[in-house]
Structure 1
Amino acid sequence: MKIKNFPENSRITFLGSIFKENKQVNWNINIGLENHYTNSADYQKYMIKHARFSNMPLLAKNRRFNQTKEIPLYNESIITIKIDDFKNWQITTSKSGQYLFSHIVSDLEETYKNIQIHLPHIELARVLFFHNAYLSRAALTQGKLTAEYYIVPEEHQTTIHVHEFCGFPSYQYDNVGMRRLLSWILLDTEARASYESISKHFLSEQFRTKTQTFWNFIFAPPSLRGAEITMKVYFSEKNEQYYVNEIIGIANLPTDISNEVIFCNPNFTVKNSYEKTGGSSGGRTSANDDPTIDDEKEADSDRKIIKIESPKIAMFLASPYETKKATLKRSGKKGIPNQNNDVEILPDHGVSTGETTIFGEIGRGEFENVQDESDDLEFFMKRFEAFKVMIEQFASQHRIQPIIHVHKLPAVNRSKLHRTHDGNPRCIIEVQLSFQSKKFVILEIDTSDNLKPLSTLIVKISDTDSWNSHFPTFRKQVVKRSLRWPTAKSLLDIGIRKTFNHPRNLAEMAESDEEFKNWRIRLEETLLSLS
């Protein structure tokens, strides 16, 4: 990670006040840095620098920047605690006036029992909300979400209409994790109130001098009852208490959202969602050599967005829900969506993170900080319903017990084929069974977006453990080969492969159809030919 005005091999020691010059627009945050030893004559071990507040996805205590050599690791412990209710946590302040949540906790492994822990307000807000530059900037502007998103709740789904001039990066609607995070902020009652509490405190509590305006970050957190937070902490021998440096994951994140969520915008297109060439989507260029963030220059609004790689925060929703992208066939008057609109679901290096201008000099940078790891495979199982019914009928006929799993295909290099056109994970269903005293694996890939027809694959295996060990590599090969099955040669040490065609119009097929019956017959014939 590189920020231009930070020294080489620097480490964040604290995050301070948020401020701006009264004649300027951009808000910044003061940052304490430890400058690792250098032979420079003007060597200064500790210093205070600043960065734009839009860089918050990167800014956590003890993170290092502009590294040119390996530096010994700072002494930290990783612990996971279960939250009772953040409303029960005491609010205290550090010596520098920054707000902390303080509480007596025990970790889930009971290694640390009844310890006093201090969690900075800004770090909790960072992992809940500040997952890109837009969400960081928008948190300081009252009414920003209301102005840019129009929400239409319906019986079985919620449609979120995105304003034409909304500043959220359009390509990030293709990311399932970012869609879920944004919809959680917009729709979850506690999350929305918590996010909007930031701008309320910001407007009412900032103080002004002749040249600058300051604010110490504080907000009202959601209760997060039952959530499990994993964090890096250090122990202060002087105070005999623990202090949180960084939160690295949140599991069982509570939500009151239960319906499917659809993001809708007349400007959303198939091209934004997916490019068959495997190139970058939405006009974005991929991160090349870890671009340097330059806070002294403005970003050019006409330039393509460069994705800035940053450490991902693993987040698991307690009750995941499906999200999609859609476009409107007709628009309402004056930009207000018409309830009669037809919603069409879509087949889904220096940079600056500040607001863009047409006079900007350098590229546009954006973070994509969330890694959604919610257990949502149940949503994708329905794409294999016909296949699953066919397998179960075959198994029942021959009195065998198949083992059925659905897996997500992995991201491989710059390929986008691990996602379907609607931005959801592309999945592969794996069936393991024994037939005629032989072991087989049957595999089918989700091509519900009609990308390309792909036959069903059967692999006769001799050893289940060898197959299970090879399967992660197998899934990567499928993506590398542009959704084609790995070659027979690559499976020589694993088993013998054979394919057979599935019926056309699979999604519309009924069990009583002759084509469905023939499909089951072809499965049996293929298995017999390998026995």
Structure 2
Amino acid sequence: MSARFYKCDDDVRIVHIGKVLIRTKDTSYRPSIEVWCYPPQQKKGFRATAFANVPALYRGKIINQRELSESFVNSGRYTFRNNDFLRKSTLSEFPNLSSAESVRKPESEQNAFVLDRPNAPKLIIPQLELARVLFYSSSYLSRASLMSSRLLTDFKVEVNAKADYANIEVLQISNYPISAFNDSATRAMLSWLLIDKNAKQSFESIFKYFNTELNLDVVPGFKRWLFHFDPPQMAGWSFSYNGRLDPSGEYFLVEKVTDITISAQMPSRVYFHSPKFTHTDEELKPTNGGKGLELYERPEDHMVDDDKEASDTNQAFLLGENTCAIRFKSRFSTSKATKPKRSHRPDNSQETPKVANDIVSTNEAGSNGEIPSADMAGGMQDNNDYSEKYASRFTAFNMMVQALEEKYACTIIDSYTHELDQVGRSKCHLIDSGAKRTIRCVVVERNGHVNYLLEVDVTGLSKWISTKCVREIDTSNWQEQFSRIKKGVVTQSLGWPTQEMDNMFGFKKHIGISHPKSIEGHPTGIPTESILDWAGRVSGKL
């Protein structure tokens, strides 16, 4: 599933994101933002798009992708130190902006943060791009950032510091898409924004500047505002990014942040509460009769039409495309507190699902809406480590890794377990219970060489997927490569994306190592002697 934009050609690249626009004469509040594209789309009527679409907008993004792929010249990773200072400036500090005058002037006005680094290129980060990965995990939050008290009226937060947990009540008035709470990354980012003072102050600064400066730039039909905000304190944080160096090599323009690691003091457990959070209790007697729910099958793509109002009669479709990955240095868990409900057996059953309407709106949903509502939520990839939570799924694999340390002089540098995310309409990322399937990565050093061992969770499957050993020489871009592997595993219906891994690492730089035969009923699924043999075969590939 992906979001396509009305009034825009296929394979169009975003080259610049401009000012926030507010119509001076509009019956509803629909902020939008200017978008410059190549090839230009002004004649098609695509000059701006809803501000609610910001989670999916960044420089270099391919809109309505068919054949083109994103391409960035350079990439990097940086960890913020205690004395680092994000200096407020504009993109004009980057000496190699667009050669087209029509783009270069508005581009140079865009607000940026500049990080002056000794003995390294200056990092020039568009302020909107940093805000996108920090706060804009959904269309709802994009709209909320331009409103004074939206989060206060939609959520009630109670933190029990002594017991180390927090309760977040989703109030009845809230328009936050309920289905988004199924996503662990969405819950984590929203928890952080609602609880952490550092995050809240930074988020609230967006409205502060928007509200005080909006009337300073008025043109026929619109009020305009150049987006900017106060960044949070980021000491100890790290992020990966794509972009380009100027010819001198002294300036680096960050065009897309691909992942971010956040340092924050959070309660170890956060619970979300809503009357809408339910689960079917099979022990309760089901209700019978009446009309059943109509079944709908989602289209492959949704067409976003900003000119129309969104209806509140449907549960918002989630259009997120995993454009960024997030991780918190101090791990905390988030979950929905669900209430039991009876199952329902209708008199009639709909055998063939209808295809849902493919035209949607990301504007605020209302009773007068014309088309189904949608939200850009679900676009954050969860890079938090769930090794402890899912340890039982990798018992045999972890025993094999331990044998590598004890018998084959290997050093374990790092290890982590990630949940797999949905790709398109595939359900391969789920096990039968509806829980997410996982993948484990162990970074192993032997004889001075670094290797990545990958193991896919096969809970509920009758087959094993070979252990993958990646012999990586350049590890600077591993997190982005790992993200592509995770997506590829789901795309390949729980198989390794061999061709993509060939492109990333080179032929024979990634090797599949078969599993020992499993024995049904055995505590680990694999006998101990077979695990030792498995470790021996893995060590031979390191």
TM-score, normalised with respect to structure 1:
0.67
Q: What is aligned with 2:176?
A: 168
Spell out the pairing of 1:337-486 with structure 2 (5 A cutoff): 349-367=358-376, 368-381=378-391, 410=420, 414-415=426-427, 418=430, 468-469=467-468
Conservation of the 8 A alpha-carbon contact between 1:458 and 1:498: no
Instruction: Quote the residue 1:15 is aligned against.
Output: 17
Closer/same/farther in 2, CA of residues 424 and 495 from structure 1, 3 Å limit: closer
Q: CA deviation at 1:167?
A: 1.3
Question: How far apart are 1:93 and its partner, in Å?
Answer: 2.5
Alignment CA distance shift 1:12-1:199 (3 Å): same
Q: In 2 relative to 1, CA 70–174 (structure 1 residues): closer, same or farther, beyond 3 Å?
A: closer
What is the match of residue 76 of structure 1?
Answer: 73
Change in Cα spacing, 1:238 to 1:32, as seen in structure 2 (3 Å) is farther
Structure 1 residue 307: deviation in Å?
2.7
Partner of 1:500: 521
How far apart, in 2, do the equivalents of 1:138 and 1:283 lie? Answer: 32
Cα contact 1:429–1:444 (8 A) shared by 2 = no
Q: What is aligned with 2:123?
A: 117
Deviation string for 1:165-209 (max 9, x for gaps)? 211111111111111111111112211111111111111121263
Counterparts of 1:180-191 in structure 2, within 5 Å, are 180-191=188-199
Equivalent pair of 1:285/1:307 in contact (CA under 8 Å) = no
Partner of 1:62: 60
Question: Matches of 2:273 and 2:295 in 1, distance apart?
Answer: 20
State how far apart, in whole Å, the 2-side matches of 1:184 and 1:238 are: 39
Determine the structure 2 residue equivalent to 1:244: 254
Structure number with larger C-alpha Rg: 1
Asked if 2 retains the 8 angstrom alpha-carbon contact of 1:35 and 1:45, the reply is no
What SS does structure 2 have at the residue aligned with 1:270?
strand
Equivalent residue runs for 1:37-436 within 5 Å: 49-70=47-68, 76-84=73-81, 88-94=85-91, 95-96=105-106, 97-105=109-117, 113-154=119-160, 155-207=163-215, 209=218, 211-237=221-247, 241-251=251-261, 253-270=262-279, 288-327=299-338, 349-367=358-376, 368-381=378-391, 410=420, 414-415=426-427, 418=430
2:186 counterpart SS class: helix
CA distance in 1, matches of 2:429, 2:280: 14
Percent identity, aligned pairs only, is 21
Q: How many residues align?
A: 423
- Tell me the distance in 1 between the aligned counterparts of 2:68 and 2:338: 48
Distance 1:284 1:324 in 2: 27
1:86 shift after superposition: 8.9
| Alpha-carbon distance in 2 for matches of 1:257, 1:125 | 20
CA drift at 1:211:
3.4
The question of whether the paired residues in 1 share the 8 Å contact of 2:260 and 2:326 is answered with yes
SS of corresponding position for 2:174: coil
The one of 26, 39, 55 aligned to 2:30: 26
Q: Which whole-Å CA distance do the structure 1 matches of 2:271 and 2:247 have between them?
A: 51
CA deviations over 1:261-300 (Å, ceiling 9, x no partner): 000112211169xxxxxxxxx9996753322211111122
The unaligned stretches of length 5 or more in structure 2 are: 92-104, 282-292, 341-357, 443-454, 470-484, 495-513, 532-542
Deviates more, 1:204-213 or 1:308-317: 204-213
SS of 1:123's equivalent? helix
Residue 279 of structure 2 contacts residue 339 of structure 2 at CA under 8 Å; is this kept in 1? no
Separation in structure 1 between the aligned mates of residue 260 and residue 416 of structure 2, nearest angstrom: 24
Label 1:11 to 1:238 Cα distance change in 2 as closer, same or farther (>3 A): farther
1:6 and 1:188 map into 2 onto residues whose CA distance is 39
Instruction: Write the distance in 1 (CA, Å) between the matches of 2:123 and 2:416.
Output: 40
- SS of 1:199 mapped into structure 2: helix
Q: Distance in 2 between matches of 1:238 and 1:496?
A: 57
| Contact 1:86–1:222, Cα closer than 8 Å, also in 2 | no
